[in-house]
Chains A and B, each alone.
Chain A
Amino acid sequence: MTVGDLYIQNLVVEYSSGGYAVRPIDGLDLDVAAGSLAILLGPSGCGKTTLLSCLGGILRPTSGAIKFGDVDVTTLDARGLSAYRRDKVGIVFQAFNLVPSLTALENVMVPMHGAGMSRRAAHARAEELLTRVNLQDRMTHRPADLSGGQQQRVAVARAIALDPPLILADEPTAHLDFIQVEEILRLIRELASGDRMVVVATHDSRILPLADRIVELVPELATTNRPPEWMELEAGAVLFEQGTMGDLIYVLAGGECDIVRQLPGGGEELLKVVKPGDYFGEIGPLFNLPRSATVRARTDATVIGYTVTEFRERLGAGGARDLIEHRPLSMD
């Protein structure tokens, strides 16, 4: 591993939501070389921002290791994390997050003040950076007087104020029109040079051509329409696990199945016992989301797996609406 390389091993982030354990990141391994532009791709809720928070030393993972260059981020204490954020990381936020009462120049000066730089030096450096992002004539404007693209450029200038080796960008194009997006994309690409690594979290596919490395946090399932699949399950067999992806909606033809959800710190809660004729597992395939629960056969059981297209046809005229509202299935 060279200086500035990013190394993630078996990263797990688990938190409690509504009393249940949620693992937006579960066993992630990743290596990114210094000077790369890596894009974390995936739909909302797949853990992109969570991963960025971990990389930025803002969120402590539940387990696993993050090493950036010679820094083992996961072992740092609070003071060490603050120094790591200041010296090693620059962050471009989705909502720009400029301080509304400060001018563009003053916003860029904030991290430099935090690092103890003199006012004069911080002022000169902020002018240089804003000139670099073509905002030399907007330095004394407050964020409210700047367009979205200009605000994001100020945010980029702020992120590189202390010349950090790692830049994290969270949905940097989320609130920009296509003209502004072009400016920001060019800027982000320029940032990933020399030893500086840029990690961008996005679901905006327009960014993909920029990337040296694309990390799909939730792989898209190549769903092809196919006939229903019949499966025989022995008692205790797991049909699918919570947090995994799947493209089939299941109808129980015989026997019984348990739908269980994992609890924080281990254990699980029984949500429902599925009876013959009932269907389950429809939301994940429909919205390309991970399974929100585990399904295990309570007795020997028979299930039929349908693709979304097949299942809609099975539902009839009600289609997607019936599916989302989990209307009872006609057993004709």
Chain B
Amino acid sequence: MLMAALRDMQWRKRRFVIAVLSTAIIFAMTLVLTGLANGFRVEAAKTVDALGVDVFLVKAGASGPFVGATPFAPVDLGRIAASPGVIAAAPIVYAGGTVTVGDATRNADLFGAPERGPGMPAVSEGRPPSTPDEVAVSSTIGRHVGDDVEIASRTLHIVGIVENSTALANLPNIFLTTEGAQQLVYGGQPLVASIGLRGTPAEVPAGYRAVDRDGAIADLLRPLKVAVNSITIVAVMLWIVAALVVGSVIYLSALERLRDFAVFKAIGVPTRNIAAGLALQAIVVALLAALVGAVLSLALGPLFPMQVIVPTYAFVALPVIAVVIGLMASATGLRRAVAVDPAIAFGGP
């Protein structure tokens, strides 16, 4: 009955095309939302990895090393740098701030670290900042080496560009020296958000807590947790809508073909073959919708003002989930088809 199912799809192709496109748009939106949530994580991971810090030390009992950090004086820096397993240690400053470029002011993430790190990312153009008045900025800010930017009422000179460096939903990252950041954030007091270590300390110094890169990424993502959860809820709702679209199309198809099913049964076609035909329609609709949805998501992603990075596993999982959802959604139609009375085949048109 697979042939009959495919022919029926050709016969009612307009309806199935509409169903495929509708479902594809929903799948594309689901993928985009997944890409948005993943984009937050990817940009946070890129930022943390770019700092070149293996372990962040924060005060015991405090969170951090970025968003939830409690500033402290790095009085133990020398002793920690000399401890076993530590290759290098540096005072790291972090704060949220604003940057004014031309007439526009936008939020930014401010990082302070020594010129040679750890904590200072590699620049794609120019050089890292070496004085408190110099900055390296993300390329997404649209400025060049030699330009000035205004941060917290101070005018700073751009000496380096860091390629596509963002965090917290596409906010540009600004990198200063530790002193420069302390002047902006702490009014010049010698405080830090964390001590960044290269290498792995043999033991965590007393009074401190070690945060690895994953912990640092999670800390940087913390403000977005509500947004990510909301996106996840919307994505789940979209899955439900997609299931309803596929399910209703298959159910309508089943209702309109009840007489056909009755005839099939009356001439001895096994019920399982009839159900398989209808299930095939659900699978074809779901798979085609997943394919078109994947292509659409690639087109829709760049339209968003944030990074949409759809993970590869999502493209792989989409058709699988789509088929499962399509079959579940078609259960009502399948039940209707299976239960049809072959006696319907008798009687007039």
Q: Which residues of A contact B (CB under 8 A)?
A: 49, 52-53, 56, 58-59, 82-87, 89-91, 93-95, 97, 99-102, 106, 109-111, 113-115, 158-159, 162, 170, 174-175
Contact = CB atoms under 8 A, between A and B. Distances in A.
Q: Which 6 residue pairs spanning A and B have beta carbons closest together?
A: A86-B268, A101-B11, A114-B269, A85-B268, A95-B349, A101-B7
Interface string B254-277: 000001100111111111010000
A115 B268 CA distance: 8
Contacts of A97: 259, 263, 345
B132 to A, nearest CB: 77
A97 B7 CA distance: 16
Contact of B346 (A49, A89, A114, A162): A49
Contact of B343 (A58, A82, A95, A175): A58
Contact of A82 (B1, B268, B349): B268
A82 to B, nearest CB: 6
A332 to B, nearest CB: 45
Contact of A91 (B267, B347, B349): B267
A94 B1 contact: no
Contacts of B3: 102, 106, 109, 113
B268 A111 contact: yes
B11 A100 contact: yes
29 contacts: A49-B346, A53-B346, A58-B265, A58-B342, A58-B345, A82-B270, A83-B268, A85-B266, A85-B267, A85-B342, A86-B268, A91-B267, A93-B345, A95-B347, A99-B8, A100-B11, A101-B10, A102-B3, A102-B7, A110-B1, A110-B264, A113-B269, A113-B273, A114-B1, A114-B269, A114-B273, A115-B268, A170-B346, A175-B349
Contacts of A59: 343
A34 to B, nearest CB: 20
Given A59-B343, A91-B345, A102-B4, A158 B268 contact: no
B348 interface: yes
Contacts of B1: 110, 113-114
A277 to B, nearest CB: 41
Contact of A110 (B4, B12, B347, B348): B4
Contacts of A93: 263, 266, 345-346
Interface residues of B, number: 27
Contacts of B7: 99, 101-102, 106
Given A59-B343, A82-B270, A85-B268, A101 B263 contact: no
A201 B70 CA distance: 92
Contacts of B8: 99, 101
B173 to A, nearest CB: 59
Given A58-B342, A106-B3, A158-B267, 4 more contacts: A82-B270, A111-B269, A114-B270, A115-B268
Contact of B264 (A84, A114, A159): A114
A171 to B, nearest CB: 8
A53 B348 CA distance: 14
A95 B264 contact: no
A49 B348 CA distance: 11
Contacts of A95: 347-349
A94 B264 contact: no
B149 to A, nearest CB: 66
A94 B347 CA distance: 6
A91 B269 contact: no
A159 B263 CA distance: 11
Nearest to B1: A113
Contacts of B347: 49, 94-95
Contacts of B270: 82, 114
A56 B266 CA distance: 8
B266 A58 contact: yes
A86 B346 contact: no
Contacts of B259: 97
Contacts of A53: 343, 346
A160 to B, nearest CB: 11
A52 B268 contact: no
Nearest to A94: B348
Contacts of A82: 265, 268, 270-271
A78 B265 CA distance: 11
Contacts of B343: 53, 58-59
A55 to B, nearest CB: 12
Interface string B154-171: 000000000000000000
A117 to B, nearest CB: 12
A109 B2 CA distance: 12
